[in-house]
Structure 1
Protein backbone atom coordinates (compact mmCIF):
# COMPACT_ATOMS: atom_id res chain seq x y z
CA UNK A 1 0.00 0.00 0.00
CA UNK A 2 1.17 3.53 -0.76
CA UNK A 3 2.56 5.32 2.29
CA UNK A 4 0.24 8.24 3.12
CA UNK A 5 1.71 11.70 2.58
CA UNK A 6 1.36 14.63 5.02
CA UNK A 7 -1.44 15.84 2.74
CA UNK A 8 -3.23 12.50 3.13
CA UNK A 9 -2.92 12.70 6.91
CA UNK A 10 -4.26 16.27 6.93
CA UNK A 11 -7.25 15.13 4.85
CA UNK A 12 -7.92 12.21 7.21
CA UNK A 13 -7.75 14.56 10.22
CA UNK A 14 -10.27 16.87 8.56
CA UNK A 15 -12.65 14.00 7.85
CA UNK A 16 -12.33 12.71 11.42
CA UNK A 17 -13.45 16.10 12.69
CA UNK A 18 -16.29 16.37 10.18
CA UNK A 19 -17.51 12.83 10.98
CA UNK A 20 -16.99 12.57 14.74
CA UNK A 21 -16.67 16.22 15.83
CA UNK A 22 -13.34 15.41 17.43
CA UNK A 23 -9.95 17.00 16.84
CA UNK A 24 -7.09 14.98 15.32
CA UNK A 25 -3.50 15.90 14.60
CA UNK A 26 -0.18 14.14 13.98
CA UNK A 27 2.44 14.06 16.77
CA UNK A 28 6.15 13.81 16.04
CA UNK A 29 8.44 11.35 17.82
CA UNK A 30 9.29 13.66 20.74
CA UNK A 31 5.68 14.77 21.28
CA UNK A 32 4.29 11.25 21.26
CA UNK A 33 7.09 9.98 23.55
CA UNK A 34 6.14 12.64 26.10
CA UNK A 35 2.45 11.89 25.64
CA UNK A 36 3.00 8.16 26.14
CA UNK A 37 5.49 8.54 29.01
CA UNK A 38 8.42 7.47 26.86
CA UNK A 39 6.84 4.40 25.25
CA UNK A 40 6.54 3.98 21.51
CA UNK A 41 3.13 4.19 19.78
CA UNK A 42 1.53 0.76 19.53
CA UNK A 43 0.63 -0.95 16.28
CA UNK A 44 -3.06 -1.39 17.14
CA UNK A 45 -4.94 1.78 18.14
CA UNK A 46 -4.91 2.48 21.87
CA UNK A 47 -6.98 4.70 24.14
CA UNK A 48 -5.33 6.73 26.86
CA UNK A 49 -7.29 8.60 29.54
CA UNK A 50 -5.80 11.61 31.29
CA UNK A 51 -6.03 12.42 34.99
CA UNK A 52 -8.77 14.87 33.95
CA UNK A 53 -10.87 12.05 32.39
CA UNK A 54 -10.12 13.21 28.84
CA UNK A 55 -9.85 10.32 26.37
CA UNK A 56 -7.35 10.19 23.50
CA UNK A 57 -7.21 7.68 20.65
CA UNK A 58 -3.69 7.01 19.33
CA UNK A 59 -3.07 5.49 15.92
CA UNK A 60 0.50 4.76 14.79
CA UNK A 61 1.64 6.27 11.49
CA UNK A 62 3.98 4.38 9.12
CA UNK A 63 7.55 5.60 8.84
CA UNK A 64 8.21 7.15 5.47
CA UNK A 65 7.16 10.39 3.90
CA UNK A 66 6.16 12.20 7.09
CA UNK A 67 8.10 12.83 10.29
CA UNK A 68 5.06 12.21 12.50
CA UNK A 69 4.99 9.09 14.64
CA UNK A 70 1.29 8.85 15.45
CA UNK A 71 -2.10 10.42 15.01
CA UNK A 72 -3.72 11.60 18.26
CA UNK A 73 -7.50 11.94 18.17
CA UNK A 74 -9.00 13.83 21.09
CA UNK A 75 -9.73 14.90 23.66
CA UNK A 76 -13.20 13.47 24.13
CA UNK A 77 -15.26 12.10 27.02
CA UNK A 78 -16.71 8.62 27.47
CA UNK A 79 -19.89 10.14 28.97
CA UNK A 80 -21.34 13.53 29.84
CA UNK A 81 -19.50 14.80 32.90
CA UNK A 82 -21.84 16.41 35.48
CA UNK A 83 -20.49 19.62 36.99
CA UNK A 84 -20.30 18.01 40.44
CA UNK A 85 -18.13 15.19 39.12
CA UNK A 86 -16.01 17.58 37.08
CA UNK A 87 -15.36 19.78 40.12
CA UNK A 88 -14.32 16.69 42.06
CA UNK A 89 -11.81 15.81 39.33
CA UNK A 90 -10.46 19.37 39.33
CA UNK A 91 -10.07 19.33 43.10
CA UNK A 92 -8.26 15.97 42.92
CA UNK A 93 -5.80 17.57 40.48
CA UNK A 94 -5.35 20.73 42.60
CA UNK A 95 -6.79 23.05 39.95
CA UNK A 96 -7.27 26.54 41.49
CA UNK A 97 -10.87 27.67 41.99
CA UNK A 98 -10.26 30.58 39.64
CA UNK A 99 -9.76 28.08 36.80
CA UNK A 100 -12.85 25.95 37.50
CA UNK A 101 -15.21 27.88 35.23
CA UNK A 102 -12.75 27.64 32.35
CA UNK A 103 -12.41 23.89 32.83
CA UNK A 104 -16.19 23.42 33.03
CA UNK A 105 -16.54 25.21 29.70
CA UNK A 106 -13.82 22.97 28.31
CA UNK A 107 -15.64 19.82 29.46
CA UNK A 108 -18.91 21.09 27.99
CA UNK A 109 -17.22 21.60 24.61
CA UNK A 110 -15.83 18.06 24.34
CA UNK A 111 -17.57 15.46 22.17
CA UNK A 112 -18.95 12.43 23.98
CA UNK A 113 -17.89 9.09 22.44
CA UNK A 114 -18.00 5.86 24.42
CA UNK A 115 -14.91 3.64 24.48
CA UNK A 116 -16.22 1.03 22.03
CA UNK A 117 -17.18 3.61 19.41
CA UNK A 118 -13.80 5.28 19.86
CA UNK A 119 -11.99 1.98 19.33
CA UNK A 120 -14.09 1.22 16.25
CA UNK A 121 -13.16 4.66 14.94
CA UNK A 122 -9.55 3.66 15.57
CA UNK A 123 -10.01 0.51 13.47
CA UNK A 124 -11.37 2.60 10.60
CA UNK A 125 -8.55 5.15 10.82
CA UNK A 126 -5.95 2.37 11.02
CA UNK A 127 -7.42 0.79 7.88
CA UNK A 128 -7.35 4.13 6.02
CA UNK A 129 -3.70 4.65 6.93
CA UNK A 130 -2.28 1.11 6.83
CA UNK A 131 -4.76 -0.77 4.67
CA UNK A 132 -4.89 -3.41 7.38
CA UNK A 133 -8.05 -4.91 8.87
CA UNK A 134 -7.86 -5.42 12.64
CA UNK A 135 -10.03 -7.59 14.84
CA UNK A 136 -11.82 -5.66 17.60
CA UNK A 137 -11.24 -8.46 20.15
CA UNK A 138 -7.49 -8.33 19.54
CA UNK A 139 -7.48 -4.54 19.92
CA UNK A 140 -9.46 -4.76 23.17
CA UNK A 141 -7.01 -7.34 24.53
CA UNK A 142 -4.07 -5.17 23.49
CA UNK A 143 -5.54 -2.13 25.26
CA UNK A 144 -6.04 -4.20 28.39
CA UNK A 145 -2.51 -5.63 28.30
CA UNK A 146 -0.99 -2.16 28.10
CA UNK A 147 -2.41 -1.19 31.47
CA UNK A 148 0.26 -1.16 34.18
CA UNK A 149 0.29 -4.40 36.17
CA UNK A 150 -0.14 -3.45 39.79
CA UNK A 151 -0.28 -6.99 41.20
CA UNK A 152 2.16 -9.75 40.28
CA UNK A 153 1.91 -13.50 40.90
CA UNK A 154 4.90 -13.29 43.26
CA UNK A 155 3.13 -10.65 45.36
CA UNK A 156 0.07 -12.88 45.68
CA UNK A 157 2.11 -15.94 46.62
CA UNK A 158 4.17 -14.23 49.33
CA UNK A 159 1.08 -12.56 50.80
CA UNK A 160 -0.71 -15.91 50.98
CA UNK A 161 2.32 -17.52 52.65
CA UNK A 162 2.51 -14.84 55.33
CA UNK A 163 -1.20 -14.96 56.08
CA UNK A 164 -1.19 -18.75 56.48
CA UNK A 165 1.98 -18.77 58.56
CA UNK A 166 0.54 -16.22 60.98
CA UNK A 167 -3.03 -17.58 60.91
CA UNK A 168 -4.31 -14.33 59.45
CA UNK A 169 -6.95 -15.98 57.32
CA UNK A 170 -9.89 -14.07 55.85
CA UNK A 171 -13.43 -14.52 57.07
CA UNK A 172 -15.44 -17.55 56.00
CA UNK A 173 -17.39 -16.55 52.84
CA UNK A 174 -20.39 -18.42 54.26
CA UNK A 175 -20.73 -15.65 56.86
CA UNK A 176 -20.88 -13.03 54.15
CA UNK A 177 -23.32 -15.16 52.17
CA UNK A 178 -25.66 -15.44 55.19
CA UNK A 179 -25.55 -11.68 55.74
CA UNK A 180 -26.42 -10.92 52.13
CA UNK A 181 -29.19 -13.52 52.12
CA UNK A 182 -30.82 -11.79 55.09
CA UNK A 183 -30.72 -8.52 53.14
CA UNK A 184 -32.36 -10.26 50.16
CA UNK A 185 -35.06 -11.50 52.53
CA UNK A 186 -35.54 -8.07 54.08
CA UNK A 187 -34.88 -9.42 57.58
CA UNK A 188 -33.22 -6.58 59.49
CA UNK A 189 -32.96 -8.44 62.80
CA UNK A 190 -31.04 -11.32 61.22
CA UNK A 191 -28.87 -8.84 59.28
CA UNK A 192 -27.78 -7.21 62.53
CA UNK A 193 -27.05 -10.60 64.15
CA UNK A 194 -25.05 -11.82 61.16
CA UNK A 195 -23.03 -8.62 61.02
CA UNK A 196 -22.25 -8.82 64.74
CA UNK A 197 -20.84 -12.34 64.30
CA UNK A 198 -18.28 -11.31 61.65
CA UNK A 199 -14.82 -10.62 63.07
CA UNK A 200 -13.58 -7.33 61.65
CA UNK A 201 -9.90 -8.29 61.79
CA UNK A 202 -10.60 -11.10 59.31
CA UNK A 203 -12.08 -8.83 56.66
CA UNK A 204 -8.73 -8.10 55.02
CA UNK A 205 -6.63 -4.99 54.47
CA UNK A 206 -7.67 -2.58 51.74
CA UNK A 207 -5.34 0.23 52.79
CA UNK A 208 -1.94 -0.15 54.45
CA UNK A 209 -1.39 3.56 55.10
CA UNK A 210 -4.49 4.41 57.12
CA UNK A 211 -6.62 2.26 59.40
CA UNK A 212 -9.55 4.69 58.94
CA UNK A 213 -9.15 4.49 55.16
CA UNK A 214 -9.04 0.70 55.44
CA UNK A 215 -12.31 0.57 57.37
CA UNK A 216 -13.95 2.98 54.93
CA UNK A 217 -12.87 0.83 51.98
CA UNK A 218 -14.19 -2.30 53.68
CA UNK A 219 -17.50 -0.55 54.40
CA UNK A 220 -17.80 0.63 50.78
CA UNK A 221 -17.14 -2.91 49.54
CA UNK A 222 -19.79 -4.26 51.90
CA UNK A 223 -22.35 -1.68 50.76
CA UNK A 224 -21.65 -2.63 47.15
CA UNK A 225 -22.47 -6.27 47.95
CA UNK A 226 -25.55 -5.20 49.94
CA UNK A 227 -26.76 -3.15 46.97
CA UNK A 228 -26.65 -6.19 44.69
CA UNK A 229 -28.33 -8.34 47.35
CA UNK A 230 -31.13 -5.78 47.77
CA UNK A 231 -31.72 -5.70 44.01
CA UNK A 232 -31.81 -9.51 43.99
CA UNK A 233 -34.36 -9.22 46.80
CA UNK A 234 -36.65 -7.17 44.56
CA UNK A 235 -35.73 -3.59 45.52
CA UNK A 236 -36.05 -1.15 42.63
CA UNK A 237 -32.55 -0.87 41.24
CA UNK A 238 -32.59 2.95 41.08
CA UNK A 239 -33.58 3.04 44.75
CA UNK A 240 -30.81 0.56 45.60
CA UNK A 241 -28.13 2.45 43.69
CA UNK A 242 -29.23 5.78 45.14
CA UNK A 243 -29.13 4.34 48.67
CA UNK A 244 -25.67 2.99 47.93
CA UNK A 245 -24.44 6.38 46.67
CA UNK A 246 -25.79 8.26 49.68
CA UNK A 247 -24.49 5.82 52.29
CA UNK A 248 -21.04 5.73 50.69
CA UNK A 249 -20.93 9.52 50.42
CA UNK A 250 -21.84 9.72 54.12
CA UNK A 251 -19.12 7.24 55.08
CA UNK A 252 -16.53 9.19 53.10
CA UNK A 253 -17.22 12.27 55.24
CA UNK A 254 -16.70 10.51 58.59
CA UNK A 255 -13.56 11.04 60.67
CA UNK A 256 -13.85 8.26 63.23
CA UNK A 257 -13.73 4.46 62.88
CA UNK A 258 -16.64 3.92 65.27
CA UNK A 259 -18.74 6.28 63.16
CA UNK A 260 -17.87 4.29 60.04
CA UNK A 261 -18.93 1.05 61.74
CA UNK A 262 -22.20 2.59 62.89
CA UNK A 263 -22.87 4.01 59.41
CA UNK A 264 -22.31 0.58 57.85
CA UNK A 265 -24.80 -1.05 60.23
CA UNK A 266 -27.34 1.68 59.41
CA UNK A 267 -26.79 1.07 55.70
CA UNK A 268 -27.41 -2.66 56.08
CA UNK A 269 -30.55 -1.97 58.12
CA UNK A 270 -31.75 0.56 55.54
CA UNK A 271 -31.38 -1.95 52.69
CA UNK A 272 -33.12 -4.70 54.67
CA UNK A 273 -36.03 -2.43 55.66
CA UNK A 274 -36.61 -1.27 52.10
CA UNK A 275 -36.45 -4.80 50.72
CA UNK A 276 -39.02 -5.87 53.33
CA UNK A 277 -41.31 -2.96 52.47
CA UNK A 278 -40.99 -3.81 48.80
CA UNK A 279 -41.78 -7.49 49.39
CA UNK A 280 -44.94 -6.54 51.29
CA UNK A 281 -46.28 -5.13 48.04
CA UNK A 282 -45.78 -8.55 46.44
CA UNK A 283 -46.42 -9.03 42.72
CA UNK A 284 -44.93 -11.01 39.84
CA UNK A 285 -41.66 -10.27 38.08
CA UNK A 286 -43.58 -8.62 35.25
CA UNK A 287 -45.36 -6.20 37.55
CA UNK A 288 -42.10 -5.56 39.44
CA UNK A 289 -40.46 -4.61 36.13
CA UNK A 290 -43.35 -2.24 35.34
CA UNK A 291 -43.05 -0.61 38.75
CA UNK A 292 -39.32 -0.18 38.19
CA UNK A 293 -39.89 1.49 34.83
CA UNK A 294 -42.57 3.77 36.28
CA UNK A 295 -40.30 4.73 39.18
CA UNK A 296 -37.39 5.60 36.86
CA UNK A 297 -39.50 7.46 34.30
CA UNK A 298 -41.88 9.30 36.59
CA UNK A 299 -40.93 12.64 35.04
CA UNK A 300 -41.53 11.34 31.51
CA UNK A 301 -44.62 10.36 29.56
CA UNK A 302 -45.37 6.74 30.48
CA UNK A 303 -47.97 4.74 28.57
CA UNK A 304 -49.45 1.28 28.98
CA UNK A 305 -48.35 0.56 25.41
CA UNK A 306 -44.71 1.26 26.30
CA UNK A 307 -44.88 -1.02 29.35
CA UNK A 308 -46.49 -3.73 27.22
CA UNK A 309 -43.71 -3.44 24.62
CA UNK A 310 -41.00 -3.75 27.29
CA UNK A 311 -42.63 -6.75 28.98
CA UNK A 312 -43.58 -8.41 25.70
CA UNK A 313 -47.22 -8.75 26.76
CA UNK A 314 -50.47 -7.67 25.21
CA UNK A 315 -51.49 -4.27 26.61
CA UNK A 316 -54.94 -5.48 27.66
CA UNK A 317 -53.53 -8.54 29.42
CA UNK A 318 -50.84 -6.47 31.17
CA UNK A 319 -53.47 -4.01 32.35
CA UNK A 320 -55.54 -6.83 33.88
CA UNK A 321 -52.46 -8.45 35.48
CA UNK A 322 -51.28 -5.16 36.96
CA UNK A 323 -54.68 -4.35 38.45
CA UNK A 324 -55.03 -7.85 39.87
CA UNK A 325 -51.64 -7.74 41.63
CA UNK A 326 -51.42 -4.06 42.62
CA UNK A 327 -55.10 -3.35 43.14
CA UNK A 328 -55.26 -0.29 40.88
CA UNK A 329 -55.09 0.28 37.11
CA UNK A 330 -51.73 1.26 35.62
CA UNK A 331 -52.82 4.83 34.93
CA UNK A 332 -54.05 5.36 38.50
CA UNK A 333 -50.86 3.83 39.92
CA UNK A 334 -48.73 6.21 37.83
CA UNK A 335 -50.91 9.12 38.96
CA UNK A 336 -50.56 8.11 42.61
CA UNK A 337 -46.78 7.74 42.36
CA UNK A 338 -46.53 11.19 40.78
CA UNK A 339 -48.53 12.70 43.62
CA UNK A 340 -46.20 11.02 46.14
CA UNK A 341 -43.26 12.53 44.28
CA UNK A 342 -45.00 15.91 44.25
CA UNK A 343 -45.38 15.72 48.04
CA UNK A 344 -41.64 15.29 48.42
CA UNK A 345 -40.93 18.25 46.16
CA UNK A 346 -43.48 20.41 48.00
CA UNK A 347 -41.97 19.56 51.37
CA UNK A 348 -38.28 19.50 50.52
CA UNK A 349 -37.92 22.25 47.91
CA UNK A 350 -39.10 25.79 47.23
CA UNK A 351 -40.07 24.91 43.67
CA UNK A 352 -43.23 26.74 42.49
CA UNK A 353 -46.41 24.62 42.40
CA UNK A 354 -46.85 25.10 38.66
CA UNK A 355 -43.31 23.87 37.99
CA UNK A 356 -43.86 20.75 40.08
CA UNK A 357 -47.05 19.90 38.22
CA UNK A 358 -45.47 20.50 34.82
CA UNK A 359 -42.39 18.41 35.63
CA UNK A 360 -44.59 15.51 36.66
CA UNK A 361 -46.57 15.54 33.40
CA UNK A 362 -49.81 17.19 34.65
CA UNK A 363 -51.47 19.14 31.86
CA UNK A 364 -52.21 22.32 33.79
CA UNK A 365 -52.26 23.71 37.31
CA UNK A 366 -55.98 23.15 37.89
CA UNK A 367 -55.73 19.50 36.84
CA UNK A 368 -52.69 19.01 39.09
CA UNK A 369 -54.59 20.53 42.02
CA UNK A 370 -57.62 18.33 41.35
CA UNK A 371 -55.62 15.09 41.21
CA UNK A 372 -53.47 16.06 44.19
CA UNK A 373 -56.54 16.75 46.32
CA UNK A 374 -58.05 13.43 45.26
CA UNK A 375 -55.04 11.50 46.58
CA UNK A 376 -53.82 13.73 49.43
CA UNK A 377 -57.12 15.13 50.74
CA UNK A 378 -55.89 18.72 50.36
CA UNK A 379 -54.54 21.03 47.69
CA UNK A 380 -50.80 21.30 46.96
CA UNK A 381 -50.76 24.76 48.56
CA UNK A 382 -52.44 23.48 51.72
CA UNK A 383 -50.06 20.51 51.86
CA UNK A 384 -46.97 22.74 51.64
CA UNK A 385 -48.38 25.11 54.22
CA UNK A 386 -49.12 22.28 56.66
CA UNK A 387 -45.63 20.84 56.25
CA UNK A 388 -44.01 24.26 56.72
CA UNK A 389 -46.04 24.83 59.89
CA UNK A 390 -45.07 21.43 61.27
CA UNK A 391 -41.40 22.07 60.50
CA UNK A 392 -41.57 25.48 62.20
CA UNK A 393 -43.09 23.93 65.34
CA UNK A 394 -40.32 21.31 65.48
CA UNK A 395 -37.70 24.01 65.07
CA UNK A 396 -39.17 26.16 67.84
CA UNK A 397 -39.43 23.17 70.16
CA UNK A 398 -35.78 22.34 69.61
CA UNK A 399 -34.78 25.92 70.42
CA UNK A 400 -36.68 26.21 73.72
CA UNK A 401 -34.31 26.89 76.65
CA UNK A 402 -33.82 24.26 79.32
CA UNK A 403 -35.60 25.26 82.56
CA UNK A 404 -33.27 26.29 85.39
CA UNK A 405 -33.13 24.04 88.45
CA UNK A 406 -32.04 26.86 90.72
CA UNK A 407 -34.53 28.44 93.11
Structure 2
Protein backbone atom coordinates (compact mmCIF):
# COMPACT_ATOMS: atom_id res chain seq x y z
CA UNK A 1 0.00 0.00 0.00
CA UNK A 2 1.36 3.42 -0.95
CA UNK A 3 1.74 6.17 1.64
CA UNK A 4 -0.93 8.15 -0.18
CA UNK A 5 -3.46 5.35 0.20
CA UNK A 6 -2.44 4.87 3.83
CA UNK A 7 -3.05 8.58 4.44
CA UNK A 8 -6.53 8.36 2.91
CA UNK A 9 -7.39 5.54 5.30
CA UNK A 10 -5.93 7.43 8.25
CA UNK A 11 -7.88 10.54 7.33
CA UNK A 12 -11.13 8.57 7.26
CA UNK A 13 -10.65 7.01 10.71
CA UNK A 14 -12.75 8.26 13.61
CA UNK A 15 -9.61 8.71 15.68
CA UNK A 16 -8.37 11.31 13.19
CA UNK A 17 -11.48 13.44 13.73
CA UNK A 18 -10.61 13.74 17.41
CA UNK A 19 -7.25 15.37 16.72
CA UNK A 20 -7.59 19.14 17.00
CA UNK A 21 -4.48 21.24 16.55
CA UNK A 22 -3.81 24.45 18.40
CA UNK A 23 -4.39 27.73 16.65
CA UNK A 24 -1.08 28.87 15.10
CA UNK A 25 -1.42 32.23 16.84
CA UNK A 26 -0.32 30.87 20.22
CA UNK A 27 2.81 29.22 18.87
CA UNK A 28 3.76 32.19 16.71
CA UNK A 29 3.42 34.60 19.62
CA UNK A 30 5.57 32.31 21.77
CA UNK A 31 8.31 32.19 19.14
CA UNK A 32 8.10 35.98 18.85
CA UNK A 33 8.42 36.29 22.63
CA UNK A 34 11.65 34.27 22.57
CA UNK A 35 13.06 36.21 19.62
CA UNK A 36 12.23 39.55 21.26
CA UNK A 37 13.82 38.61 24.60
CA UNK A 38 10.53 38.60 26.51
CA UNK A 39 11.73 36.69 29.58
CA UNK A 40 8.49 37.06 31.53
CA UNK A 41 6.24 35.60 28.79
CA UNK A 42 8.59 32.73 27.97
CA UNK A 43 9.08 31.82 31.62
CA UNK A 44 5.32 31.80 32.17
CA UNK A 45 4.86 29.47 29.19
CA UNK A 46 7.50 27.12 30.59
CA UNK A 47 5.91 27.13 34.04
CA UNK A 48 2.59 26.13 32.49
CA UNK A 49 4.40 23.26 30.71
CA UNK A 50 2.60 24.05 27.47
CA UNK A 51 5.26 22.17 25.52
CA UNK A 52 4.22 18.77 26.87
CA UNK A 53 0.47 19.34 26.89
CA UNK A 54 -1.21 16.92 24.52
CA UNK A 55 -4.23 19.05 23.62
CA UNK A 56 -3.78 20.62 20.22
CA UNK A 57 -0.36 19.08 19.59
CA UNK A 58 0.12 16.98 16.48
CA UNK A 59 1.19 13.35 16.86
CA UNK A 60 4.45 12.86 14.97
CA UNK A 61 5.28 9.52 16.57
CA UNK A 62 3.33 6.96 18.57
CA UNK A 63 6.24 6.84 21.00
CA UNK A 64 5.69 9.65 23.51
CA UNK A 65 9.37 10.52 23.96
CA UNK A 66 10.13 10.41 20.23
CA UNK A 67 7.06 12.52 19.57
CA UNK A 68 8.27 15.22 21.98
CA UNK A 69 11.76 15.08 20.49
CA UNK A 70 10.35 15.79 17.04
CA UNK A 71 8.40 18.75 18.43
CA UNK A 72 11.56 19.93 20.20
CA UNK A 73 13.52 19.93 16.94
CA UNK A 74 10.79 21.85 15.11
CA UNK A 75 10.53 24.40 17.93
CA UNK A 76 14.30 24.87 17.94
CA UNK A 77 14.34 25.36 14.16
CA UNK A 78 11.61 28.00 14.37
CA UNK A 79 13.25 29.89 17.22
CA UNK A 80 16.71 29.71 15.66
CA UNK A 81 15.60 31.39 12.47
CA UNK A 82 13.47 34.02 14.17
CA UNK A 83 16.32 34.96 16.49
CA UNK A 84 18.62 35.17 13.47
CA UNK A 85 16.09 37.44 11.78
CA UNK A 86 15.96 39.63 14.88
CA UNK A 87 19.71 40.17 14.95
CA UNK A 88 21.39 37.18 16.58
CA UNK A 89 24.65 36.28 14.89
CA UNK A 90 23.87 33.49 12.40
CA UNK A 91 26.70 31.23 13.53
CA UNK A 92 25.74 31.64 17.17
CA UNK A 93 22.08 30.89 16.41
CA UNK A 94 22.81 27.68 14.52
CA UNK A 95 25.54 26.46 16.87
CA UNK A 96 23.14 26.91 19.76
CA UNK A 97 20.55 24.92 17.82
CA UNK A 98 23.04 22.12 17.11
CA UNK A 99 24.08 22.04 20.76
CA UNK A 100 20.59 21.54 22.15
CA UNK A 101 19.47 19.09 19.47
CA UNK A 102 22.54 16.96 20.14
CA UNK A 103 21.60 16.92 23.83
CA UNK A 104 18.45 15.02 22.86
CA UNK A 105 20.56 11.92 22.19
CA UNK A 106 21.00 11.20 25.89
CA UNK A 107 17.39 11.88 26.88
CA UNK A 108 14.87 9.09 27.46
CA UNK A 109 11.84 10.58 29.23
CA UNK A 110 9.21 13.20 28.42
CA UNK A 111 10.16 15.05 31.60
CA UNK A 112 13.77 15.35 30.45
CA UNK A 113 12.67 16.67 27.07
CA UNK A 114 10.47 19.24 28.80
CA UNK A 115 13.37 20.32 31.00
CA UNK A 116 15.73 20.63 28.03
CA UNK A 117 13.09 22.56 26.09
CA UNK A 118 12.69 25.06 28.93
CA UNK A 119 16.45 25.50 29.23
CA UNK A 120 16.78 25.95 25.47
CA UNK A 121 14.06 28.60 25.06
CA UNK A 122 15.20 30.52 28.14
CA UNK A 123 18.79 30.48 26.82
CA UNK A 124 17.72 31.93 23.46
CA UNK A 125 15.44 34.46 25.18
CA UNK A 126 18.14 35.68 27.55
CA UNK A 127 20.62 36.05 24.70
CA UNK A 128 18.08 38.07 22.72
CA UNK A 129 17.28 40.19 25.78
CA UNK A 130 20.95 41.05 26.13
CA UNK A 131 21.21 41.72 22.40
CA UNK A 132 18.41 44.30 22.52
CA UNK A 133 19.96 45.89 25.61
CA UNK A 134 23.53 46.30 24.49
CA UNK A 135 26.03 48.66 26.03
CA UNK A 136 25.91 51.35 23.35
CA UNK A 137 24.15 53.78 25.64
CA UNK A 138 24.79 55.04 29.15
CA UNK A 139 23.46 53.14 32.13
CA UNK A 140 20.59 55.60 32.57
CA UNK A 141 19.42 55.14 28.99
CA UNK A 142 19.77 51.36 29.14
CA UNK A 143 17.83 51.38 32.42
CA UNK A 144 15.18 53.60 30.84
CA UNK A 145 14.76 51.19 27.93
CA UNK A 146 14.56 48.28 30.35
CA UNK A 147 11.84 50.06 32.31
CA UNK A 148 9.87 50.91 29.17
CA UNK A 149 10.20 47.33 27.94
CA UNK A 150 8.97 45.93 31.26
CA UNK A 151 6.05 48.38 31.52
CA UNK A 152 5.09 48.60 27.86
CA UNK A 153 1.47 47.72 28.59
CA UNK A 154 1.16 50.56 31.09
CA UNK A 155 0.89 54.32 30.68
CA UNK A 156 4.50 55.53 31.05
CA UNK A 157 5.58 59.10 31.65
CA UNK A 158 8.99 60.76 31.81
CA UNK A 159 8.30 61.31 35.52
CA UNK A 160 7.84 57.54 35.98
CA UNK A 161 11.19 56.88 34.34
CA UNK A 162 13.00 59.61 36.23
CA UNK A 163 11.61 58.42 39.59
CA UNK A 164 12.67 54.82 38.86
CA UNK A 165 16.23 56.02 38.17
CA UNK A 166 16.42 58.61 40.91
CA UNK A 167 17.15 61.50 38.53
CA UNK A 168 15.23 64.59 37.47
CA UNK A 169 12.80 64.43 34.57
CA UNK A 170 14.52 67.32 32.78
CA UNK A 171 17.96 65.69 33.04
CA UNK A 172 16.67 62.34 31.74
CA UNK A 173 14.76 64.03 28.93
CA UNK A 174 17.89 65.85 27.71
CA UNK A 175 20.10 62.76 28.06
CA UNK A 176 17.65 60.50 26.25
CA UNK A 177 17.32 62.86 23.30
CA UNK A 178 21.09 63.37 23.14
CA UNK A 179 21.93 59.65 23.07
CA UNK A 180 19.04 58.22 21.05
CA UNK A 181 18.14 61.12 18.83
CA UNK A 182 14.45 61.00 19.78
CA UNK A 183 12.40 62.09 22.79
CA UNK A 184 11.30 59.72 25.54
CA UNK A 185 7.65 60.04 24.52
CA UNK A 186 8.49 59.30 20.86
CA UNK A 187 10.47 56.22 21.90
CA UNK A 188 7.64 54.96 24.12
CA UNK A 189 5.14 55.48 21.33
CA UNK A 190 7.35 53.67 18.85
CA UNK A 191 7.75 50.68 21.16
CA UNK A 192 4.00 50.50 21.80
CA UNK A 193 3.28 50.63 18.08
CA UNK A 194 5.80 47.84 17.45
CA UNK A 195 4.01 45.72 20.04
CA UNK A 196 0.67 46.62 18.45
CA UNK A 197 1.97 45.56 15.02
CA UNK A 198 2.92 42.15 16.41
CA UNK A 199 -0.51 41.72 18.00
CA UNK A 200 -2.27 42.79 14.80
CA UNK A 201 -0.19 40.39 12.74
CA UNK A 202 -0.05 37.35 15.01
CA UNK A 203 -3.18 37.50 17.20
CA UNK A 204 -6.93 37.77 16.82
CA UNK A 205 -7.40 40.44 19.48
CA UNK A 206 -9.88 43.15 18.42
CA UNK A 207 -8.34 46.56 17.78
CA UNK A 208 -10.03 48.07 20.81
CA UNK A 209 -8.57 45.34 23.03
CA UNK A 210 -5.07 45.98 21.64
CA UNK A 211 -5.54 49.68 22.36
CA UNK A 212 -6.59 48.87 25.94
CA UNK A 213 -3.79 46.36 26.46
CA UNK A 214 -1.21 48.99 25.52
CA UNK A 215 -2.90 51.69 27.65
CA UNK A 216 -3.85 54.09 24.89
CA UNK A 217 -6.41 56.59 26.14
CA UNK A 218 -8.97 55.46 23.56
CA UNK A 219 -9.35 53.43 20.40
CA UNK A 220 -9.41 56.60 18.30
CA UNK A 221 -6.17 57.79 19.94
CA UNK A 222 -4.54 54.44 19.21
CA UNK A 223 -5.65 54.58 15.56
CA UNK A 224 -4.31 58.13 15.24
CA UNK A 225 -0.94 57.25 16.79
CA UNK A 226 -0.66 54.07 14.74
CA UNK A 227 -1.37 55.95 11.49
CA UNK A 228 1.21 58.62 12.31
CA UNK A 229 3.93 55.99 12.82
CA UNK A 230 3.07 53.48 10.09
CA UNK A 231 1.15 55.51 7.54
CA UNK A 232 -1.92 53.29 7.77
CA UNK A 233 -4.69 52.39 10.19
CA UNK A 234 -4.47 49.30 12.43
CA UNK A 235 -7.28 47.69 10.43
CA UNK A 236 -5.44 48.24 7.16
CA UNK A 237 -2.20 46.93 8.67
CA UNK A 238 -3.95 43.74 9.81
CA UNK A 239 -5.59 43.26 6.40
CA UNK A 240 -2.19 43.46 4.70
CA UNK A 241 -0.03 41.62 7.23
CA UNK A 242 -2.13 39.12 9.18
CA UNK A 243 -0.19 35.85 9.26
CA UNK A 244 1.07 36.25 5.66
CA UNK A 245 4.42 37.87 6.43
CA UNK A 246 5.69 34.85 8.30
CA UNK A 247 8.48 34.97 5.75
CA UNK A 248 10.54 32.14 7.15
CA UNK A 249 7.94 29.43 6.54
CA UNK A 250 9.58 27.98 3.43
CA UNK A 251 13.02 28.08 5.03
CA UNK A 252 11.62 26.45 8.17
CA UNK A 253 10.04 23.58 6.27
CA UNK A 254 13.38 22.73 4.68
CA UNK A 255 15.30 23.26 7.93
CA UNK A 256 12.86 21.22 10.00
CA UNK A 257 13.07 18.28 7.61
CA UNK A 258 16.86 18.49 7.66
CA UNK A 259 17.10 18.67 11.43
CA UNK A 260 14.51 15.94 11.95
CA UNK A 261 16.60 13.71 9.72
CA UNK A 262 19.67 14.63 11.77
CA UNK A 263 17.81 13.60 14.94
CA UNK A 264 16.71 10.29 13.37
CA UNK A 265 20.26 9.57 12.20
TM-score between both structures, scaled by the size of structure 1: 0.34
Query: Larger Cα Rg: Structure 1 or Structure 2?
Result: 1
| Larger strand share, 1 or 2 | 1
| Larger helix share, 1 or 2 | 2
Higher RCO (CA < 8 A, seq sep 6+): 2
